Structure 1
């Protein structure tokens, strides 16, 4: 039961680092770039800015796992599927954080479409919080975002998370965090991108996130990133082979230490 006494501390740390676990960055690719992800497209956008899934042309699925700071009970897991439909793109995914003492779950249904140079997308989330001996709380939230390709080298993205300002507990006015994100991606070459992003929780100071990705020999990826506020540093590797892609990320918090993440993505080839 000693670990039970640490729960409030761990929750505070989790909130300070990622404005609550339910909105933690998902996938080793995103983490490796310091979560400067509001302009990213592809499969993992279904967990970030849903507008980015419009670049997927076939059915894709994936799974990811992260353990934060090597601590029991600080495990993140997520899986989902994304596909193209006649009227746009859809995604279904699931996220879990925690253990039997404390955990968070999120199930999401997302949709995105493209209008000229602008891509827009949103998702509806079912969120559940459980604390042992204190019961379970459920709520719903809505996220909305957009991405604009100004030129092949310049992309702008924006996103609002929990625009409905959903409550965890209406009696105590505990709310799911409401976050606003604005980002810029500079892509001077097809194999290199540099991202800058600002994230603002409506009740917390703004955070600046920087990230970079370098693709070499077509199959390999190097990534790095940095966050202000907590001054975390991030590093990542990726490898693509046929329809599979594997990614690994390492992050370092100045006081809490290292976290590890691994992801797998599979693209179902068209016949």
Structure 2
């Protein structure tokens, strides 16, 4: 959590301080949110933020919009626009030359806000995917100005048992970007690693551990059940944030709609909504 930049929000918005993004990796997409944010093995357009290696399996140009509200507070709104663009033809469930991704994100309000512009690249081999991402981060406080930093992140995914067991790992801000000289303030460095077990084409079980170097470890887990081809239901939890989550996903042609809700026993309800569209059909 930011120290010098947290002074003003701490005085005026204590709840916002407790829940601020802190320029960490955060949550991307309502699908991930419904799974308790156990998302390091996912491969949709939101892999640009969850684990950039997952971009390597996006086979159609895709654009997504994600909105999040925490605890019904206008000061804790997040909005994200993301795009994934495969390079070259798509065969065997992957783009032959990899996939580039872009993201623009804003958190907060006029008093305190965090902005992010990110670009990444993911490549899928036979059973292994790798990716890298660069972020320009900005923290702004009304009346005090802004600070910026550049963060570099790396990710990897692998099929441990083809079509059944997957492993993912993501290192966010490996360069330990400095945000302010005061108390040597840096952007959080976070490592995520997890497994996804998919016993059938309808069931996905995810488990993940996330460790910020300055905080306790967070264990997250989630389950997704594909009721029919067009409808999925999800549930999950996170130990560090003490939240239970649930959500649904609906596929309608080239459009995908995802919604999730999270409940914190002390702070209440958070809501997540994502809309994605494939700009053309994936190659078979």
Structure 1 equivalent of residue 17 of structure 2? 12
Assess, with a 3 A threshold, how the Cα gap between structure 1 residues 4 and 88 changes in structure 2: closer, same or farther: closer
Q: What secondary structure, in the 3-state scheme, does the structure 2 residue paired with 1:26 have?
A: coil
Instruction: Give the 5 Å matches for 1:41-190.
Output: 41-86=43-88, 87-151=97-161, 152-190=163-201
Assess, with a 3 A threshold, how the Cα gap between structure 1 residues 21 and 250 changes in structure 2: closer, same or farther: farther
Structure 2 equivalent of residue 200 of structure 1? 211
- The whole-number CA distance in structure 1 between the counterparts of 2:9 and 2:237 is 31
- The whole-number CA distance in structure 2 between the counterparts of 1:198 and 1:260 is 23
- The whole-number CA distance in structure 1 between the counterparts of 2:15 and 2:175 is 27
Q: In angstroms, what is the RMSD of aligned CA positions?
A: 1.7
Structure 1 equivalent of residue 42 of structure 2? 40
CA deviation after TM superposition for structure 1 residue 5, in Å: 6.5
Instruction: Give the 5 Å matches for 1:200-239.
Output: 200-239=211-250
CA deviation after TM superposition for structure 1 residue 229, in Å: 2.4
- The whole-number CA distance in structure 2 between the counterparts of 1:100 and 1:210 is 34
Runs of 4+ displaced beyond 4 Å: 3-8
Q: What secondary structure, in the 3-state scheme, does the structure 1 residue paired with 2:56 have?
A: helix
Assess, with a 3 A threshold, how the Cα gap between structure 1 residues 266 and 6 changes in structure 2: closer, same or farther: farther
TM-score of the aligned structures, taking structure 2 as reference length: 0.90
Structure 1 equivalent of residue 3 of structure 2? none
TM-score of the aligned structures, taking structure 1 as reference length: 0.94
Superposed CA offset, 1:10-49 (max 9, x none): 343115xxx7354220211110100000011121111210
Superposed CA offset, 1:177-222 (max 9, x none): 0001110100001111000000111121111001111111100010
Structure 1 equivalent of residue 94 of structure 2? none
Assess, with a 3 A threshold, how the Cα gap between structure 1 residues 225 and 68 changes in structure 2: closer, same or farther: same
Residue in structure 1 matching 2:267, options 250, 253, 256: 256
Assess, with a 3 A threshold, how the Cα gap between structure 1 residues 70 and 21 changes in structure 2: closer, same or farther: farther
Is the contact made by 1:96 and 1:105 (CA closer than 8 Å) also made in structure 2? yes
- The whole-number CA distance in structure 2 between the counterparts of 1:130 and 1:26 is 21
CA deviation after TM superposition for structure 1 residue 98, in Å: 0.5
Superposed CA offset, 1:210-246 (max 9, x none): 1111111100010111111232100101100100000
Superposed CA offset, 1:158-178 (max 9, x none): 010000000110243111100
Q: Mean Cα displacement is larger for which, 56-65 or 167-176?
A: 167-176
Is the contact made by 1:22 and 1:104 (CA closer than 8 Å) also made in structure 2? no
Assess, with a 3 A threshold, how the Cα gap between structure 1 residues 172 and 11 changes in structure 2: closer, same or farther: farther
Structure 1, unpaired ranges of 5+: none
- The whole-number CA distance in structure 1 between the counterparts of 2:98 and 2:10 is 47
CA deviation after TM superposition for structure 1 residue 4, in Å: 6.2
CA deviation after TM superposition for structure 1 residue 91, in Å: 0.3
Is the contact made by 2:60 and 2:86 (CA closer than 8 Å) also made in structure 1? yes
Structure 2, unpaired ranges of 5+: 1-7, 89-96
CA deviation after TM superposition for structure 1 residue 7, in Å: 4.3
- The whole-number CA distance in structure 1 between the counterparts of 2:211 and 2:141 is 27
